[in-house]
Structure 1
Amino acid sequence: MSAQQNDPSFANVWQELRWRGLVHVSTDEAELEELLAGDPVTYYCGFDPTAPSLHLGNLVQLLLMRRLQLAGHKPLALVGGSTGLVGDPRPTAERTMNTKETVAEWVGYLQGQVQRFLSFDGPNGARMVNNLDWTAPMSAIDFLREVGKHYRVGTMIKKDIVATRLNSDEGISYAEFSYQVLQGMDFLELFRSYGCVLQTGGSDQWGNLTSGTELIRKAEGKSVHAIGTPLVTNSDGTKFGKSEGNAIWLDAAMTSPYAMFQFWLNTADTDVIDRLKVFTFRTRAEIEALEQSTAERPHLREAQRTLAYDVTSLIHGIDATEKVIAASAALFGQGELGQLDEPTLTAATAELPAVTLPAGTPTIVELLTASGLSASNSAARRTVSEGGAYVNNVKVTDPEAAIGAEALLHGRYALVRRGKRTLAMVEVEPA
């Protein structure tokens, strides 16, 4: 995996952010470039605890924060203990409000995840902040007098997400309508307390980002900045970071390292170079070489393998990534299945056909038919006699062979293979 450093071939970090495609919309570009090329500045990005884990969309922001930190700037990582109680408006319908206890628990989870991607040491070490600390003590009257007076309803209803909801059958509640005010107040608070002059976020949050820049202009008479990253989509127009409708989470318990690796490995040739720019610290020269490899030798999938290795290592560590690679090889007889720990084994085989058998000592024929790899006992016997039956990568040549507990992985699992690539997982219940 490439070291975490910015590419010295660029004149400054702004030029690198532009090349990586991380700037979709921003405040004044010339001012931003000058600001980020100068003395260290404080910036922030917010993450709302609307789930117990961050996902790949959040990873874009975390890596942008890290690139700015590597350029010498100081990050504030905000996990929204108060904004998470409301939730930013979705395009289609009102969010379901979670309990205060749930949100507080999720704040802790997200803070732990954010800490893995930033450095909290040194002169520009990151600081963790929670907006509940300044919103909870504020009364509704103070909120309206000190913050609400700076907002104009006419401007608020023109924000894209609000306008979309106002024109829908669902409408929008006052709570979600007020979200942009809460986020604007966050920027104002961080400006006053830490001298924060830049906020980053997804371009779909642009209305909320500019809520803060406008509030600071009105309340303090100062000019601050915002960067909106593009929403990452696949070349076919589908939403990035979704796998059959399920988000790809940064929590290993919600998306296993094996599933994470496979997600990146399956990136289309048309998307992989853009993904390398956004999600890895590979240099421009390295990425251009991988682009050439993709064009000339696409069957090698060198760019996809690099992407999968780098991002999975970044999220879950090199050790977990090496286990994933070993598991992928072992499934097809190119490694030692017995060396895989149980979580890696079950994650690697999660998408295979699976069946559970009662305690006992099944024969190879029973394993082939129970798993669906053979349609009948006679077909299973034929597979065995032709040398095409394997249990845990060991060829079985006797159709009457019984598979005892000693031959099972972790005392219960049989990876059954017919031929070179047709697999199924059989779990035999312990006696």
Structure 2
Amino acid sequence: MSTRVFRSVSSPSRMTLCRTCLLRSMTATRQHRRPLHLSTIEKQRKAQEAWDLRAKKIENGEEMDLWDNFKERGYVKDIAGTDDQIRELMRRKRIGVYVGIDPTAASLHLGHLLPLMPLFSMYMHGYRAISVVGGATAKIGDPTDRLKTRDEVSRSDRTVFTTKIHYQLKRIWQNVDLQAKRYGFEKEWSWNRELLNNSSWYNTTPFLEVVNRLFKGMRVGPMLTRATVKRKMAEGDGMSLAEFVYPMMQAWDWWEMFSGPKRVCMQIGGSDQYGNIIAGVDAVKLLRDTEPNPQVKLPDDLLHTPVGFTVPLLTDSAGNKFGKSAGNAMWLDPFMTNSFDLYGYFMRRPDNEIEKLLKLFTFLPLEQINKIMEQQNLDPPKRHAHHTLAFEVLALVHGISEATATQARHRQMYSKDKTLLVTPTSIGEVDSYPQGVYPPSATMALNFRPDIKLPESLIMSKSISRILYAAGLASSFNDAHRLVSHRGAHVGGAPGRSAHDNKEMRLGEVAFQSVKNWFPGDTKNFLIDGKILVLRRGKHFVRIVEMITDEEWEASGNSYPGESGKGRLRLLREQLTAVNGGKNPRLSSDELSRLGEQLSRLEREGDIALEDANTSVPRNIKFPPTRSRAAQLLDKYTRDQQRNPHIILSVKQKTSAIDKVLAGARKVLEEKKRVRDKALATATDRESQF
């Protein structure tokens, strides 16, 4: 190793450093700082001036304080801190606020939505709003209000739960932006929201740091006095050490966000989380006051004080808590509780609860809610308030279009006027990634079932392009191949590693990397628990593929796109053989695939679209009993062979033949469309004359 000799400035003695040590010493003191652009600094200044002006108006009584609005709407049940303290903190500072959710099930339910509602409202009013998925804390499970220890969840199930809830929250946050626009909130530069996973810091924080900073300063006595601990030890199956320190893990989450640039001063939770929030407040204060580094130590003042509050629990008509454990959860996943049933749940709520639920689950101004209730009281059987409540919740969770369609279906089903026609229609379940018919939006992704099962022979021995096509993330094998080539698909795994030495996603995290053309045998490196493969296309379309044995697949009777002997190519080859008098057309799989794609495109754009604009695209290719385009292609192909039987047409010649036939078909379709448009225009003119 080469060395360089340096003479110290303060001492005449010589010192010798190797090149590596020198570079390490230089990089250790160098801190990477992202420079702020002048325009960003100016935006920050203007945002702070606007906030100070708002605080002055609230102080003078010219504008209502958001905390008082929360109390009036019924969001506030228990407070960690004082009422005046929280009000003043929210008035003076653009604080950060968070809600944490442990992924212990495959979906969120209405009980989770309730503490999220004030979080969404604070986001619309300019606060920093953060939703945290507890990928790490879910490994232990919150023991609050439980007498029995939670059942152990497998690694694969926990990964599935975390992935589903992550993308569920992501879609709901997008709907929050749309809801804000509906109610007149103009999105400003200072609006800030984040979706985090606490595994991101628990997987990188040394355990000794948590023990040294937090555990050493907390006393066991106060923790033993908690009602949850005493009840589980006296009436339940005892409390493990992991369950005992669960509140401290949740408190460390808060500290990670409190001590960093996010400056999260507030936590919101259900009323069963009050003990954890109180413990978190004490822990954050302890960590703040015992910070050993004076450069990052925060002062003990109002603007750096942790506070929190809880919302009332959502209960059923019998007073039982909603949730997975109680078995009465109303899930926000449309494949677990469909939109119609979720709408019906709010329609069945007693009249005396509707006003309270309108305040809790909608962003409607209080004045408008009063008007809705006045209209409700004038004619209770019409259930105007119930319809408004159900529509607003579905618009937030599933989107405006789904809420409109579901409301129309419900009104038609329960209306006395059976002649009522429903014009809005729900999109329905989406089997594959949408292309051409609908844009691939978050609303479409809501109807895209994430779970799918595929056989081991496909996952372990076929290319990733075949798997993407079979999983419904590509319209054809060629489309999947292009997708992989352009890095448009993603697979759950360890980012930054190649396929042959990749590792599955770290437990509790949701991490992806671009799909590449790796060897089929390398796909096993991305399997979670040896059976779960997580794939994604775009921002929202996720497939959680469960690998099953070939025997189980055969017994299921299912088939997947591109499956040998069961797919579109087999159907197309049989139809081509039939119109050719039983002779095999001798087209390769790639040629058949290309022909099938173009015929499907022509059918979508041509005859079917002209005959009925509302007809959905058929899942299989259907040919008319007369000479079809496929038969025309086959005629052209066989004529060339008859003229030159000793010559075998090349792929280029076959492709040219296909293109000629399709070009002629397009001309015919364009002529049909022109004639039809002319006929419709003539009919319209005649009607206008009358």
| TM-score, structure 2 as length reference | 0.46
Out of 49, 58, 71, which is 1:18 matched to?
71
Q: Which amino acid aligns with 2:140?
A: V
CA contact (8 A) 1:234 1:271 kept: no
**Alpha-carbon contact 2:346-2:390 (below 8 Å) kept:** yes
**1:153 pairs with 2:230:** no
Contact 1:216 1:224 in 2 (8 A): yes
Tell me whether 1:211 sits opposite 2:279 in the alignment: yes
The SS at the match of 2:337 is: coil
Flag the 1:152–1:17 CA change in 2: closer, same or farther, 3 A.
same
CA separation of 1:269 and 1:337: change in aligned 2, threshold 3 A: closer
Instruction: Name 2:340's counterpart in structure 1.
Output: 258
One-letter amino acid of the structure 2 residue matched with residue 38 of structure 1:
R
CA contact (8 A) 1:327 1:335 kept: no
**Once structures 1 and 2 are overlaid, which stretch shifts more, 311-320 or 89-98?**
89-98
How far has the Cα of 1:133 moved from its partner?
1.6
Count of paired positions: 339
Q: 1:259 to 1:273 in 2, by over 3 A?
A: same
1:13 CA drift (Å): 0.6
Structure 2 residue 191 is the aligned partner of structure 1 residue 138: no
Q: Secondary structure at the match of 2:99?
A: strand
Letter in 1 for 2:106: P
Specify the alignment match of 1:220 in structure 2: 288
Matched, 1:49 2:135: no
Tell me which amino acid in the other structure corresponds to 2:100: G
Match of 1:126 in 2: 193
Write the distance in 2 (CA, Å) between the matches of 1:339 and 1:213. Answer: 49
Deviation of the 1:233 alpha carbon: 3.0
1:274-289 mapped onto 2 (5 Å cutoff): 274-289=356-371
- Residue identity opposite 2:116 in structure 1: L
Please say if 1:184 is aligned against 2:251: yes
Instruction: For residue 182 of structure 1, report the CA deviation from its aligned partner.
Output: 0.3
Q: Which amino acid aligns with 1:304?
A: H
1:77 match: 131
Is residue 2:311 matched to residue 1:229? yes
Give the partner amino acid of 2:352: T
The equivalent residue for 1:200 is 268
The higher radius of gyration belongs to 2
Question: Is the 8 Å Cα contact of residues 97 and 264 (structure 2) preserved in structure 1?
Answer: yes
Higher RCO structure, 1 or 2 (CA under 8 Å, sep 6+): 1
Deviation at 1:241, TM superposition (A): 7.0
Gaps of 5+ in 2: 1-60, 178-186, 290-299, 430-615, 617-690
User: Residues 293-325 of structure 1: CA distance to partner in whole angstroms, max 9, x if unpaired?
Assistant: 344432221111111111111111121122223
Q: Residue 338 of structure 2 aligns to which amino acid in structure 1?
A: S
SS of aligned partner of 1:126: strand
Q: Which residue in 1 is equivalent to 2:555?
A: none
Aligned to 2:239: 172
In the TM superposition, 1:238-253 aligns within 5 A as 238-240=320-322, 245-253=327-335
Contact 2:115 2:310 (8 Å CA) reproduced:
no
| 1:77–1:298 CA distance, 2 compared to 1 (3 A) | same
* 1:102-123 per-position Cα deviation (integer Å, ceiling 9, x unaligned): 3233222222222223559832
1:96 aligns with 2:164: no
**1:138, CA displacement in angstroms?**
3.4
Give the 3-state SS of the residue equivalent to 1:285 in structure 2.
helix
Name the SS for the 1:129 alignment partner: strand
Partner of 2:543: none
Counterpart amino acid of residue 264 in structure 2 = C
Return closer, same or farther for 1:205/1:264 CA change in 2, 3 Å cut-off.
same
Q: Which residue of 1 aligns with 2:164?
A: 109
Which string of whole-angstrom CA distances, capped at 9 and with x for unpartnered residues, describes residues 14-49 of structure 1?
Answer: 011001110001121101111112231111111111
Map residues 32-47 of structure 1 onto 2, 5 A cutoff: 32-47=86-101
> 1:347-405: per-residue Cα shift (whole Å, max 9, x none)?
xxxxxxxxxxxxxxxxxxxxxxxxxxxxxxxxxxxxxxxxxxxxxxxxxxxxxxxxxxx
Gapped runs of 5+ residues in structure 1?
Answer: 1-7, 345-409, 411-431
Q: Which amino acid aligns with 1:269?
A: D
Q: SS at the partner of 1:267?
A: coil
Deviation at 1:276, TM superposition (A): 0.2
Per-residue deviation, 1:327: 2.4
Deviations 1:231-274 (A, max 9, x none): 13356534357999431111111111111111111111111110
Partners of 2:62 and 2:349 in 1: how far apart? 27
* AA matched with 1:67: S
CA distance in 2, matches of 1:124, 1:338: 37
User: For residues 263 and 142 of structure 1, do their structure 2 counterparts lie closer, same or farther at Cα, with a shift above 3 Å needed?
Assistant: same
**1:123/1:162 Cα in 2 relative to 1: closer, same or farther (>3 Å)?**
same
Q: How far did residue 337 of structure 1 move?
A: 8.0
Q: What is the CA–CA distance in structure 1 between the aligned matches of 2:229 and 2:399, rounded to whole Å?
A: 40
Aligned letter for 1:82? A
**How far off is 1:339 after superposition?**
8.3
Check conservation: 2:269, 2:309, Cα contact below 8 A. Answer: yes
Aligned equivalents of 2:367, 2:120: Cα separation in 1: 20
Given that 2:127 and 2:191 are in contact with CA atoms closer than 8 Å, whether structure 1 keeps it comes out as yes
For residue 370 of structure 2, what is the amino acid of its counterpart?
A: E
Q: Specify whether residues 280 and 180 from structure 1 end up closer, same or farther in structure 2 by C-alpha distance, changes over 3 A only.
A: same
Q: What is the aligned partner in structure 2 of residue 324 from structure 1?
A: 406
Q: Which residue in 1 is equivalent to 2:141?
A: 87
Structure 1 letter corresponding to 2:115 = Q
Report the alpha carbon displacement of residue 124 of structure 1 after superposing the two structures with TM.
2.6
Q: Which structure shows the bigger proportion of residues in helix conformation?
A: 2
1:225 and 1:184 map into 2 onto residues whose CA distance is: 12
Residue 155 of structure 1 aligns to a residue in which SS?
A: helix
- CA distance in 1: counterparts of 2:189 and 2:405, whole angstroms: 33
Q: Mean alpha-carbon deviation: is it higher for 213-222 or for 257-266? A: 213-222
C-alpha separation in 2, matches of 1:232 and 1:146: 36
